[in-house]
Structure formats: structure tokens, C-alpha cells
Amino acid sequence: MSRQALGKGLGALLQQTREMVENPAPLAGGENTVAKIAVSKIVPNRFQPRRVFNDEKLAELAQSIKEHGLTQPIVVVYDAGLDKYEIVVGERRFRASQLAGLTEIEAIIHKHLDDKQMCALALIENIQREDLNPIETALGYKSLMNKFDVTQTDLASYCGKSKAAVSNALRLLELPAEIQQALQDGTITEGHGKALLMVADPAKQAALFARLQKNKLSVRQAEDAARALMAPAGKPVKAAKPVEVVSFENELQTALGTKVEIKCGKNVKKGTLVIHYNSLDELDVIAGRLKK
């Protein structure tokens, strides 16, 4: 399937699902039905990108469900092999319904969703609601790119995000496991993670991570500390460059295998891109990579 066709298909799928959720009535032709299903017959989405469910917020939602009922049905697909209904959209509502003591729950039963569609819907629903932590979002992007064989640019378009946002999110997966866990726990923010990515040396990166946790550094303080760590000894630290620009420089350097500089002023919309090379052979290699 071409990327263009995929984009159209994914967009249509998302629109159809939104209509199903907003207007929970059987669609023409009987492809989808609305029914009450025993909670014991429902299983989570295998592709659910969310790994952390806030217990306090689940308890609040469960209390609301006890008082007012479930105001919006979940969306499921029937798995004949398991004789179970797998959640497509609404796992948080499902978990809260369990906490509320419900034995059955209203659901829209969709008959025609494959694994890729389920993966896409689970990710995009959470991203659009901004419910995921930075690492969950990054892992979701990576999974969606692998399953759909799409580029970062395509994915950004599908999810309504900028290319830089997707790229920066994916780079967080380059961080050590301990730092990724801190991002999942919420003890540091995505901005802190980007600042840590500015430090290439693992030992210095670990030291900065410990420092920002101990001293509760702001994102700006963490960025300034990262620049100071990476500055050559005896040289003054250059004026702060936006972390997004530094992040993009690092990404280009990795992709091209050479030093890359982005020179810009306060207005990052304009600037100069400098790509370094040390021989004609290296220039030829860089040119080949740029053409791809």
C-alpha cells in the first residue's frame, strides 16, 4: 500500500471511529452494533501505547461512573479465536468501569479492524487527548512507523503534529533506561529530556541527570548546564541556542555522519545550515545521503 493511500485510509478510519463514538448507533449495513458486554469478556488492546494509568484519576472516573453511568461507550472488536472482545478505544473507561464494580459495559462492536488499524487508533486517540507520557508517545510513534512503513513526516501529518515534535519525541528513546523511566514517572519533563540529549558524553549526561533531580533544575537551567558541560575548556559558553535547534543539529549529524551547524538568531524561522566535509569522497557520500 502506498503512503499516500495509507494516509487517506487512516484518515477515513479515524473519521469513521469518531462518528461511531459520537453517535453510538448501528451503522448502515449492520457492520457495527452497539451492545452491553460482560466485563469478563473484554480484554485490553494489545497495541495500547499507554503503560501508566494514573490511579487517582481512574478512581475519580470510577466515582463519576457510579453516579452518572458510562456516558460514552467504548469501541471493541470481536476476536472469534479467543471468544473475547478486544478494546480499540476506551481502555481507561473500561478500567474505571471495573473499579466502579460494573459487570457489563456498553460497547460499539466493530467487525472490520486489522492489527495496523487497531495500533493506529490506540496511539492517535491517546496522542490527540495528550494522555501519554513522553516515552509512551515515542514508543507509539516508533510502533506506528514500523507497522505502517511511514516516514516521520508522514506520521506527523497523520497525527496533527509537527515533524520536529515527532523527531524530538523519538530521540528520547536514545536516552538511558533510568532517564526514560524518570520521564515515564513524571519526575522530569520532556524539556529536561531534550536538554539531557544535548550532552553526548554518557558520564556527563548521567551527572547532569543526577544534578537536575537533586537541585530541581528548571528546563532552562538544565539547558544552560548542558551547554556549559559541552563547551570546550576555557572557552565561554555561547549564547543559548533553542533546544529544538540543537536537537535538529544532532539528528542531522547522525543522519549525515558529519558535523552540522544551524546558525540562527532569535527568529529561528530564518538562518543558515552549514554541513562540514573533509574530503571530496566524504562530500560525495554526504550528497548521496541528502539525495535519499
Report, as residue numbers or ranges, the catalytic residues.
Answer: 91
CA 194 to CA 227: how far, in whole Å?
A: 12
Find, among 116, 115, 95, 113, the residue nearest to 105 by Cα: 95
Grid cell, residue 152, equals 516521520
CA 44 to CA 85: how far, in whole Å?
A: 9
Question: Do you know the residue count of the chain?
Answer: 292
Alpha helix ranges (H) inside 48-186: 55-68, 91-99, 115-129, 134-148, 152-159, 163-171, 177-185
* Packed helices 190-197 and 202-215: angle between N→C axes, nearest 10 degrees: 150
Q: Which amino acid is at 255?
A: A
Report how far apart, in Å, the C-alpha atoms of 277 and of each of 112, 245, 251, 262, 286 are. Answer: 52, 21, 17, 15, 8
CA 159 to CA 130: how far, in whole Å?
A: 11
Find, among 162, 196, 199, 203, the residue nearest to 179 by Cα: 196
Residue whose cell numbers read 479492524: 113
Q: Which amino acid is at 228?
A: A
| Burial class of 82 by CB neighbour count within 10 A (0 to 12, 13 to 18, 19+) | exposed
